[in-house]
Chain A
């Protein structure tokens, strides 16, 4: 009789304890019903008209029944009302603006699904530390969201309509993800940017995108990279220089490239490109970096080169490609030296390899970098020619002979 009583007593106490603990830790009051949320897909930050303030544009999904969001997946139609709503606010800080957007709506802002964070080029030049700080502090904001600088105002990229994806932020995020398949360097996530920012003397880069075209036929393209010193944009790389920048990191897959010689040209696909970097501190105090690049390339289109025999063509193309890659990296390196921005992360390599010598070098890093030598060795292989062996024109020539 006593035993069971005590067991029941203990059971009741346990149930009470567990339920009190669980209920106070979390509970119904923490619920966020989906229909009460504004799903934030993109965030654009620009300079405001008034000095010292920023203007923020938040793109949220239009979930109302006549909106196009749900249909977007299936047919991309944006009938009756847009797929998205752009909400604007300006204030002294990012949080200020987001709070205002939140306040002016009967829904709550759901920031987890943010696809992209855009900075207007003017804001990038002024510095982006403050908004980044706010984002980093927010536990709900994801660090994996990619960043991009818009040549123009950031809000223009959000309000633009890109078919077939009606939500421009999703479009931009997807585009950067596609490019990340080629090389991870194309997609700079917040966490990558901040990591680079924290390295000594390193200069982070963010891809620049440019909106072109008119109302219904707007397009966006990658237009080089913005080079940052600290948190301010100090210059930009052109598209060719950007390619050089990408090659210098290696780990590239399926990247297009083009070589030309006179009127002949060939479009190539870099199947894989790997780069081994090594840094040397010479005895005279100068620093030399050697990049050894191994690439496997497949020709996708060959035009011209009529005078060459098929057996000579491939080695020739290999040579041309090697030269092209070398030129692009050199061009990028020269620009970086001009800007005095170590976008390649050589400083960190040096620091890791020569920690003792680094103490002496770090005060004159700028000088070291501007005098740094780059030693590039490129080895290109073209193992296959695609589905056909010879160009159509060459075939005719062979028959004549």
Chain B
């Protein structure tokens, strides 16, 4: 029965993919283009039709040139353009066309003259097809059509409301830069560029999404990033045929290596310094327009335990905190499972005095430990979910009502035992030590609890081994997920070695230029050489 189900599902998937490919090819082949003919009115009608006669499409007819003998129209979408740019870079030069200075040749030459000599905009492109004009308008450029010209101009005049660079909400630091990415693609790439002033930093622009046409940028260090990874990322994103890309999550889901794994295989960050550091290690950054998150690939498991501050604080302390995070990960995944296994299977493993206390707390609790733990974990996830989307003051009220009042009342009413509340509280708090893996933690925790509830410690051991096997089979763009625990790359995994020690880029990721600097043990002494000679 299962077999049949899988068979049907699989053939559906394969078929769907094939059909999709054919359709995509058809569409690509039949993408219509309409040439711009010299008739201004007709062209405007066509352009309007292409943009579905949108009300925010502004058409500004004007006469210009020597003796005002040229008539044309500026077409732009209100709200997407920067009005001062429109006035200063386009309107003013057109209107102030010096009469004798530029003799006009034939009609085709007008565009040339306009592009190169008249307009003061930074980016002017010639367009032959109506579709190019429409696309330009949609991305905030201004289109210029001239009567009698078989072509048009697309002038850069982008300018729309955007959020300022502010401190990121998801990754706050005590020490370190406070700037975060914004929703604007150019701002984000510039933020990264400002960190890495090197000609090796490559920026590749792509457009993804049939309807959204979202700009996507790949950024990597040429000669440091693994060319195969770059190629893979480019291929996967380039071959995306989807309606919309609204956030990096879309891209992540479409291109990740293990879509069914609880573990994410693509990293993300909201902070330019973090992304810059990852690029410097040889990763590829994927910047997507419209979101303050930037993806980095490949991602290794140990990245979940790293924060930007690890490198800004002193290495001994960073190592301590990092080990705590790994411990926290283990505790938050296994604590409820181990508690269940201890209480309903291996009672003999509990220290005797603790057993008395726990046994007394459990007396009169109506549910088996597994059910009790499940209720508590679910309650916690519900509270978290309820608090996280609410405005901060309301969220606090929720957590007070949920955690304090309900927890206290549940113990007093004898519905759950006090030790269980302690275990769940510990689980909840340690879960936040590794925010990047929060989703996988929540899933694994429940899986482990079920294993423990069915099989006791035997089940937990099974789960643990299964988890290890799964982790070791995971790959992210060709890099092994557990690769950083290899002896070569261990300098920055469980412990954080001093920066002057980490002179080699991670082998799992970087290719080519592997050395980051000269290895030495501080402090450098300016007169050391002379002293030696003496």
Query: Could you list which residues of chain A lie within 8 angstroms of chain B, going by C-beta atoms?
Result: 1, 4-5, 8-9, 12, 22-23, 25-28, 30-35, 37, 39, 41, 61, 63-65, 67, 69-70, 72-73, 110, 112-113, 115, 140, 167, 170
Contact = CB atoms under 8 A, between A and B. Distances in A.
Given A12-B2, A26-B456, A35-B365, A69 B359 contact: yes
Interface residues of B, number: 34
A30 B3 CA distance: 32
B202 to A, nearest CB: 36
Contacts of A35: 359, 362-365
Interface string B456-471: 1011001000000000
B456 A39 contact: no
Contacts of B364: 35, 64-65
A72 B356 contact: yes
Q: Is the interface of A mostly helix, strand, loop or mixed?
A: mixed
B347 interface: yes
B347 A34 contact: yes
Nearest to B366: A35
Contacts of B14: 1
Nearest to B352: A113
10 contacts: A5-B7, A22-B462, A25-B458, A26-B455, A27-B455, A30-B456, A35-B364, A37-B347, A65-B364, A69-B360
B355 interface: yes
A6 B368 CA distance: 41
Nearest to A16: B2
Q: Is the interface of B mostly helix, strand, loop or mixed?
A: helix
Interface in B1-39: 2-3, 6-7, 10-11, 14
A27 B368 contact: no
A235 B261 CA distance: 70
Contacts of B328: none
Given A5-B7, A12-B3, A27-B454, A34 B362 contact: yes
Given A73-B356, A113-B348, A9 B10 contact: no
Contacts of B357: 69-70, 73
Given A31-B344, A33-B343, A8 B6 contact: yes
Contact of B363 (A28, A65, A113, A167): A65
Given A9-B3, A113-B348, A70 B10 contact: no
B345 interface: yes
Given A1-B14, A26-B455, A72-B356, A31 B345 contact: yes
B361 interface: yes
B267 interface: no
Nearest to A167: B356
Given A9-B3, A26-B458, A65 B360 contact: yes
A112 B348 contact: yes
Interface string B347-380: 1100011011111111111001100000000000
A138 to B, nearest CB: 13
B431 interface: no
A8 B10 contact: yes
A12 B6 contact: yes
A25 B455 CA distance: 9
Nearest to B451: A22
Contacts of B2: 12
A32 B347 contact: yes
B343 A39 contact: no
Nearest to A72: B356
Contact of B347 (A1, A5, A110): A110
A251 B459 CA distance: 43
Q: Most A CB atoms within 10 A — which of B2, B344, B352, B368?
A: B352
Contacts of B360: 63-65, 67, 69-70
A28 B341 CA distance: 11
B356 A34 contact: no
Contacts of A12: 2-3, 6
A115 B351 CA distance: 12
Given A22-B462, A69-B360, A110-B347, 11 more contacts: A5-B6, A5-B10, A9-B3, A23-B454, A28-B455, A30-B456, A31-B368, A32-B347, A35-B365, A69-B356, A112-B348
